[in-house]
Amino acid sequence: MKNKVKANQSGLTLLEVLIAMVILSISLILLLNMAMVALDGNDWSNKTTIATQLIQEKLEQLRNSSNPISGGDTALGVVRSWTVSNVGNHLRRVDICVTWEDIRANTMADTMTTFIKTDSV
């Protein structure tokens, strides 16, 4: 007896395997891109939160100071500067600016201006 080859053999052809690998590769590349976007967003969010906290911290220090003066410092990779100026009787204007570099080395900045009532001029 001769072995007869069935025409309806099940299995995957080489072409089907190659197409599946291309689809899988494209999917993985898109997932990698989404991961990079998420990392950029997380870095931006983290640095913005730190900058905002440093602004709030300096504002509280200046409010509690009897004679606040202008200055600057650096903390956690964020450069912070502040300017205090008299604008009227018992009123001081405070400008606080923070700058930092994001994950792509772009300089980012955030500022806040407020007024502090004092007992002395």
User: Which pLDDT score is estimated for 12?
Assistant: 77
Contact 62, 116 (CB under 8 A): yes
Q: How do residues 35-89 score in pLDDT, each as one tens digit?
A: 999 998 998 899 999 999 999 999 999 999 888 899 999 988 899 999 999 988 8
pLDDT digits (tens, 9 = 90+) for 94-108: 999 999 998 888 999
Output the pTM of the full model: 0.70
Domains assigned to the chain: 14-117 (2.20.25.110)
Q: What is the pLDDT of residue 96?
A: 96
Sign of CA dihedral 51, 56, 60, 63: positive
Can you spell out the DSSP letters for 67-115?
S---EEEEETTEEEEEEEEEEETTEEEEEEEEEEE-TTS-EEEEEEEEE
